[in-house]
Amino acid sequence: MEKYHEPSDAITKLFRALDIVFFMQNHDSYITIEDLSLAFKSIHLRPPLKEIKAILGQAGTLKLNFQQFQTLRLSKKRCELNVVADFKKFEDKQYKGYITQKSIEDALFTEGHSRSDITYITNTLMKIDRNHDGFITYKELYNFLMGTIPEDWIRWLVENADCGVSQDLLISMMQDNGFNGKAVEEFLNTYLDIKAKQ
């Protein structure tokens, strides 16, 4: 989502939401393992403690202060903590555990984005709704932001690349199906490099 630039005040609001609104236990100005566990529970997920530690560990610490959180958000690093933060930002207030077109538009409008940017970003995100039911799940957002490509789609990419379908067309088709274009391009480049060396 190259058009999306998160304003500083939006990062501050998001940190406060993650530390205060959802994590009423400690109010300590840190995002901790307990805080992250509560965030997952609020979206109906219950990952084991080991996974939650690994998620915070991706940020290089098990206790994240605002500066660290802001640096992580601005870096646009592919990590699950950013996925959790994005999910909580866009989560529909009425349909807890899901993101909807309206909830995306509302969040972006609140951040002060232009109408054209809101439309572009909303359309980009709604493409990741694989079953077209109007609801984006955490898994769908995770796969998109982390650049994950499911095994059946990898097979489809390999078969079509082997048949000579152009890389640009494959990337475009995958993006139309809600996949991260850069992740698809990286996969195809790696696959074609390996194939060329054989």
Structural domain includes residue 80: yes
Distance between CA 45 and CA 50 in Å, rounded?
A: 14
Cα Rg of the chain (Å, integer): 18
**32, β-bridge pairs:** 63
Structurally, the chain folds into a number of domains equal to: 2
Are 112 and 136 found together in one domain?
yes
Residues recorded for the chain:
198
Are 186 and 103 found together in one domain?
no
Structural domain includes residue 35: yes
Structural domain includes residue 157: yes
Written in H, E and C, the secondary structure of the chain is CCCCCCCHHHHHHHHHHHHHHCCCCCCCCCEEHHHHHHHHHHCCCCCCHHHHHHHHHCCCCCEECHHHHHHHHHHCCCCHHHHHHHHHHHECCCCCCCECHHHHHHHHHHHCCCHHHHHHHHHHHHCCCCCCCCCECHHHHHHHHHCCCCHHHHHHHHHHHHCCCCHHHHHHHHHHCCCCHHHHHHHHHHHHHHHHHC
Structural domain includes residue 48: yes
Are 71 and 92 found together in one domain?
yes
Percent of the chain at pLDDT above 90?
Answer: 30
Give pTM, 2 decimals: 0.74
Are 107 and 181 found together in one domain?
no
Are 165 and 68 found together in one domain?
no
Q: Is the pLDDT of residue 26 over 60?
A: no
Are 91 and 31 found together in one domain?
yes
Domain that holds residue 179: 147-197
**31, β-bridge pairs:** 64
Contact (CB, 8 A) for 105 and 118:
yes
CATH of the domain at 19: 1.10.238.10
Are 118 and 180 found together in one domain?
no
Are 38 and 136 found together in one domain?
yes
Are 35 and 114 found together in one domain?
yes
Q: Predicted confidence band at 23 (pLDDT cuts at 50, 70, 90)?
A: very low
Are 151 and 135 found together in one domain?
no
- Identity (one letter) of the amino acid at 31? I
| Mean pLDDT for the chain overall | 84
How many other CB atoms are there within 10 angstroms of residue 73's CB atom? 19
Structural domain includes residue 1: no
Tens of pLDDT, residues 34-66: 888 888 888 888 888 999 888 888 878 888 888
Are 129 and 191 found together in one domain?
no
Structural domain includes residue 3: no
Q: Predicted confidence band at 24 (pLDDT cuts at 50, 70, 90)?
A: very low
Residue 25's pLDDT is: 52
Are 156 and 137 found together in one domain?
no
